[in-house]
Structure 1
Amino acid sequence: MREQPVEDISTADEKQQPGGEQGSQAVPSLTIVSHPVARRVGEQLLLSGLATGRVVPLSRNEPVFMRPGNALGMHLADPFLSRKPLVFSSGREGGVRLEPSGGVRVCVAGRVLEGPWEFSPEELEAGVALELGGRVVLVLHLADPTAKDPADMLGMLGISTGLQRVRRLIEQVADLNVPVLVRGETGSGKELIAQALHRRGPRRDKPLVSVNLGAIPKELAAAELFGARKGSFTGATKDQEGLFHAAHGGTLFLDEVGEASPEVQVMLLRVLETGEIYRLGERTPVTVDVRLVAATDAHLEQQIQEGRFKAPLLHRLAGFSIRVPPLRERREDVGLLFHHFAREELEALGEAKRLESEDLLAEPWLPTPLAAQLVAYDWPGNIRQLRNVVRQLVIGNRGQPRLQLDAQLKQELATPKAAAVGRPASEPVARGGRTPRRKPADIPEMELLDVLRGCGWDFQAAADRLGIHRTSIYDLIERSPSIRTAGALSVEEITRCFQECGGKLDEMVRRLEVSKRALGRRVKELGLTGSDA
C-alpha cells in the first residue's frame, strides 16, 4: 500500500471554506476505528466539501485518509470493499446524508441500511460508528480542519477536538506560575494533564509530587501535606517533612481535592495566598515555592452550597481551569486508545506481531461488530475502564486469531436499548436520533421537576433526557425555589426519614426529592446504616 499525496475533495475545499478563516468551524469527518491493517487506525477524512454543496464518494479506491496535519495518506484499500462508492452529502439542518451503494453493506447500530440515511448535527457531535462490509469501521463525527498531529503528544493519545483543545490550554498556561484546576470524570486522565503541565513548564527539572487526597485518612492528611513535629499527634514518633516540602521548587499535584477536610482546606488556602505552610506542632511558618495543580471529579459548586467546600479555596485553586472531556465525548479516539493498550498487552505476551500484519486479505483482529460496540458504549469509567477491557480481551483471547467477548465483558459492555441512530432520509428531522442539545435557560422549572422525578433523582439520567450537561442541572436547581438540595436538609429531617424508610435510600429519595448520590453521602456522614444506605 503505497502512500500518496493527498489531492482529494476534502483538502481542496479546506482552502475555500465560506465565512473566512480556515478551520473556524468543525466539519463532518470520518476516522478509522478498525481495519485489517491495524496501523491505519486513527487516519481521518475531512468531509469539508459538504459545506459547499459537493458530494464525497467513498469506496476502497477513493478518497485518501491521512493523519491530521500530514500531507500523505492512502485510500481504504480493502479488496473486499466495492469500487462502487457510498455517497456522503449535506443533510437537513446541518446533518449528513449517506447513500449506500449496492456493493457495500453498511451497518449502523446493528441495522443494515437499505436506502439513504440521514444523521443529525447532534449525532455528528456525539459520533456514530459505521460498519462497512464487515471489514472496516469508521466513526462519523465533527473535527477541527486545522488540527495538526503534534510531534509531542504531551503524553495524551487522541485526535479528537476536545483533546486538541486540552493540549492548546496546556501550552498556554504551562509556563505560568498560576495554580491550575483540572476537572473531569473519574478515569479520564486528569493526572496526565498535571504531568504535561510540569514537563512543559520551567519547573520540569524539579520534583513532581502526586498525592490522592481521597486515599489518605483525613486525620493524617494535614501531616502528610504540611509535615509535623515529633509528638505533635499520636503516632508522630519523629519529625516529618510534608509533601509541600518535597515538591519545593517543583509541582504538587493534588488529586480528588474535593475530599480535603475543612482543616486541610484552610491550610491550602493559606499556602496559596501567602506561600507559607505551618508544620503540625510548630508556630513558625516555612516558605515554599510550589506550583499547585489540583484535580477533581466532584461538583465543587454544589459542595460549597452544602457547606462542605470553601468558596475562596475554589477561587484560588482555579487560577486557570482545564476540563478533560470524558471518553464518550471523544469516540473518534476509541480506536487509537484501544490499539495502543492492546499493543502494550500483546508485547507483554510476546505477541506484538499480531498488530503488524500488512495482509489486506486477513480478517480484522478487532471484529467490526465489537469495534462498533466499543465506540457506542458510554464508558462511565472512561480511559481506565477501556484499558481494563482491553487487558481482559487480549489475555482472554490469547493465541486466538480474532478477539471475542466473554460472558463477563458481554455483560459489562451491554447498554440499555436506545433510540435508533439516524433516520431514513425521507423521514422528518424530529423523528430521528438522540435527544438534541438544549439551552438550560429554555427548560422551565416544572419540566425539570418532572424529569428529575421520572429519573429517580439521578442527575446524569435527567441531564441526558433533557439534552443538557450534568453540571447544568445544579445551576437550574439553584434557580428553582421549589427544588431543594441534599445539603439544605436538616439532620433531624434526614434522621427521621431514614427511620421511617427503614434505611432504604431509594425510598428516602422519593420522599425528600433530592439527589440520590448527595443524599447517600449525607447519610454516610451522619453514620446512619440501613439496608442499602
Structure 2
Amino acid sequence: MSRSEPRDSQSPPLVADVSTAAGHEQRAVASADQAVPMLTLLSHPTATRAGERLLLEGVAAGREVSLSRNGPNFTRPGETFGQPLSDPFVSRTPLVFSPGEGGRLRLRVGEGGTRVVVDGQPLTSREFTPEELAAGVLLELSGRVVLLLHQASGEGRAPGDSLGMVGESPGLRRVREHIQRIADLHVPVLVRGETGTGKELVAQAIHRHSPRKERPFISVNLGSIPKELAAAELFGAHRGAFTGATRDREGFFRAAQGGTLFLDEVGEAPPEVQVMLLRVLETGELYPVGAHTPIKIDVRLIAATDANLEEHIREGRFKAPLLHRLSGYEIRLPPLRERREDIGMLFQHFAREELEAIGEAHRLTPRDPYAEPWLPASIAVRLLRYPWPGNIRQLRNITRQLVIGSRGQPVLQLDSRLAEELDGAGPAPKPASPPTAVARRKSTEVTGDELLSALRQHAWDLKLAADSLGIPRSSIYDLIDKHPTIRRAGTLSAEELTSCHRECAGDLDAMVQRLQVSKKALTRRLKELGLSTKSD
C-alpha cells in the first residue's frame, strides 16, 4: 500500500490528552429516547484506539459540528479525557457535519481538506438518510482512518463492568443489563443466538456475578454427546444400569452441585432427557439411570440454543413445557452484523492476543506517526462490510489467520483465500426472499452415500449435515451407527487419538478430516485426554 502525502506536515505530534469544548459536549448523556449521530473509530494507525467515540450532540441540537485532525476529542465509553484524530495525514481543514431535512445528516468536506471515501467513491458533500444512519455509514479518511457514522440512543454512560465482553453497541449493552438483573437470582435462563455469538460467555458472566460464583461452573454441549449416553452423562448412572456401565457415574448435574450447569444446544436433547430435565426443573430432584431413589439437587440451569425451539415443538421434536421451564428469563444475543461498531474493538482484542503470542504486540502502538497503518484501511473496510455468518468465532479465526499469515511484515496482508472469503459475500443486504428450506424427510429415506457425502461437505458438522439432509439431528446418530464405515469419536481409542494429534501437530481441522468424525465430539474427547488444539 503506497503512502499518500501528508497534509499540513507541520502539525503537532500524534497525541494530546486535552479536552475541548466540543469534547465536553460529546460526553453529555443523550436522553434515552433521542437518536444522536455518533462517530466510532473502527481503524486508526494507532490500532489500540479502535472503539473510541465522538457523540455529535451538536447536530442533534441543530448546530454544525466540525471534525479535523486537531479536534474534537474521541473518548472511550465512560472515560473523561480523550484525544483528537491526530493523524498527520488528516487535514486541519475540517469536515463539517450539520443537520438536514427530515432527519438527514449532511457532510461537507472543506476545499483542500481530508480525502473522504464512502462506498468506494470520494466525496465533497453528501446527505445521509435516517435509514443509512441506522445501518451505519463507513467513512474512510486519507486512506488511513476508518470511522462508522451511526445512530446512538442514550449511550453516553457506559456500565462500570464489561462482564468480560468486548464492545459497546446497544445490543451488547442490553445483554449486559439483562445479566446484571438476573445474575443474583435462582431463575433458569435461556440464552438464544446464532452460532458463534458468545452464548457460553453470557453463562459464565451470570455465574461469576451470582452467589454461586465460588461453586462449580460446568459446561456441557448436548450436541456432542451420543444420545444413548446423554441421560447417564447428565444425571449419572448406577453400575450395571446399561451395557458398558462398569462403574457408578456421577453425572454433570451432581458435579455442578451448588453451582451452575450450562447446557449448550439444548434443542438437541433426546426425548427421554427432555422428560428428565423437566422433572429436575419442577422438583429439584433427579433419578440417576438405574436408580429408584431420587437425589435432591441444587443447581442453577442455564441453557442455550441457536435453534428455533418453537418450530421444534410444532414438529414434535421438543416439549413445550420444557421450553416454558427453561425460559424463566430469556436473553437474546445480537449477531455480529448488528454490532458493526464493535468490530474494530473485537479485532484489536483478538489481534492483541495473537501478537502477544508471537512477540509483536508493539505493532498496535507504532512510534512513527507517519508509518503505514498496521491494519490497512482497505482491510478494515472489508472487515466492516462482511456479514459475518459465523459471528465472533469467525472474526477471531480470521484475525488469527491475518496476524499469523502476516508475521514479520510491517502491515497486515490478505492472502488470496482470505481476500476471496471477505470479498465474496460483500455487504450484508437482506435477502429479497427467504432461502428455500430443505424438505423434511424420514431418516430411512437417506442412503449411506448421501449421509457420507453430507458429512464430508459440511466438514463432519452433524447439525449442518442433518439440516442439509432434511432430517432431525437425533436421527443422524442412528444413521451413523448403521453405516458400515463411519465411526464416532467416542469409539476411538486413546492411542489412535494421541497418535493422530501428534501427526497433525494439534490441528483440529486436520484431525477431523483424517479421522472423519464430528468436530464437536472429537474436541470433547481430546479435552478428556488433556490434548490441546490449534482450532476453536
**TM bucket, shorter chain:** 0.7 to 0.9
Superposed, which structure 2 residues align to 1:88-487 within 5 Å?
88-102=97-111, 103-113=113-123, 115-416=124-425, 452=433, 456-457=435-436
Q: 1:11 aligns with which of 9, 20, 25?
A: 25
CA contact (8 A) 1:95 1:121 kept: yes
Q: 1:2 aligns with which of 16, 20, 43?
A: 16
Q: Quote the Cα distance in structure 2 between the aligned partners of 1:284 and 1:6.
A: 71
CA contact (8 A) 2:27 2:55 kept: no
Displacement of 1:150 in angstroms is 3.9
Q: 1:314 to 1:10 in 2, by over 3 A?
A: farther
Q: 2:62 aligns with which of 53, 58, 64?
A: 53
Q: 1:233 to 1:91 in 2, by over 3 A?
A: farther
Q: Quote the Cα distance in structure 1 between the aligned partners of 2:203 and 2:298.
A: 17
- Across the aligned residues of Structure 1 and Structure 2, the Cα RMSD in angstroms comes to 2.8
Displacement of 1:118 in angstroms is 2.8
Displacement of 1:272 in angstroms is 0.5
CA contact (8 A) 1:6 1:73 kept: no
CA contact (8 A) 1:67 1:149 kept: no
Displacement of 1:33 in angstroms is 1.1
Displacement of 1:343 in angstroms is 0.8
Q: 1:10 to 1:112 in 2, by over 3 A?
A: farther
- Counterpart amino acid of 2:352? R
Q: Which region of structure 1 is more displaced relative to structure 2, 348-357 or 160-169?
A: 348-357
CA contact (8 A) 1:14 1:145 kept: no
Q: Which region of structure 1 is more displaced relative to structure 2, 221-230 or 80-89?
A: 80-89
After superposition, the C-alpha distances for 1:115-156 in whole angstroms (9 at most, x for unaligned) are 422333333233222110111011112224444344431110
Q: Quote the Cα distance in structure 2 between the aligned partners of 1:305 and 1:208.
A: 33
Q: Quote the Cα distance in structure 2 between the aligned partners of 1:321 and 1:59.
A: 44
- Counterpart amino acid of 1:55? E
Displacement of 1:73 in angstroms is 1.1
Structure 1-normalised TM-score?
A: 0.79
After superposition, the C-alpha distances for 1:177-198 in whole angstroms (9 at most, x for unaligned) are 1000111111111100000000
Q: 1:6 to 1:276 in 2, by over 3 A?
A: farther
CA contact (8 A) 1:306 1:486 kept: no
Q: Quote the Cα distance in structure 2 between the aligned partners of 1:109 and 1:259.
A: 42
Alignment-derived partner of residue 520 in structure 1:
469
- Give the match's secondary structure for 1:401: coil
Displacement of 1:91 in angstroms is 3.6
Q: Quote the Cα distance in structure 1 between the aligned partners of 2:347 and 2:201.
A: 18
CA contact (8 A) 1:33 1:138 kept: yes
- Counterpart amino acid of 2:330? S
CA contact (8 A) 1:57 1:87 kept: yes
- Counterpart amino acid of 1:521? G
- Counterpart amino acid of 2:17? E
Displacement of 1:4 in angstroms is 1.6
Q: Quote the Cα distance in structure 2 between the aligned partners of 1:52 and 1:383.
A: 36
Displacement of 1:321 in angstroms is 0.6
Q: Quote the Cα distance in structure 2 between the aligned partners of 1:147 and 1:85.
A: 24
- Counterpart amino acid of 1:63? P
Q: 1:326 to 1:217 in 2, by over 3 A?
A: same
Q: 1:201 to 1:404 in 2, by over 3 A?
A: same
Q: Quote the Cα distance in structure 1 between the aligned partners of 2:379 and 2:345.
A: 15
CA contact (8 A) 2:27 2:156 kept: no
Q: Quote the Cα distance in structure 1 between the aligned partners of 2:135 and 2:244.
A: 52
Alignment-derived partner of residue 65 in structure 1:
74
Q: Which has the higher contact order (CA 8 A, sep 6+)?
A: 1
Q: Quote the Cα distance in structure 2 between the aligned partners of 1:390 and 1:13.
A: 32
Q: Quote the Cα distance in structure 1 between the aligned partners of 2:180 and 2:309.
A: 26
Q: 1:519 to 1:187 in 2, by over 3 A?
A: closer
Alignment-derived partner of residue 533 in structure 2:
none
After superposition, the C-alpha distances for 1:218-269 in whole angstroms (9 at most, x for unaligned) are 1111100000001111110000001000001000000111111111111111
The share of aligned pairs that are identical, in percent, is 59
Displacement of 1:161 in angstroms is 1.0
CA contact (8 A) 2:281 2:325 kept: yes
CA contact (8 A) 1:178 1:320 kept: yes
Q: Quote the Cα distance in structure 1 between the aligned partners of 2:289 and 2:102.
A: 62
After superposition, the C-alpha distances for 1:27-73 in whole angstroms (9 at most, x for unaligned) are 22111111111222111001122222112111111211101122111
Q: Which runs of 5+ in 1 are unaligned?
A: 420-433, 436-447, 459-484, 506-515
Q: Quote the Cα distance in structure 2 between the aligned partners of 1:179 and 1:313.
A: 11
Displacement of 1:99 in angstroms is 1.9
- Counterpart amino acid of 2:283? T
Structure 2-normalised TM-score?
A: 0.78
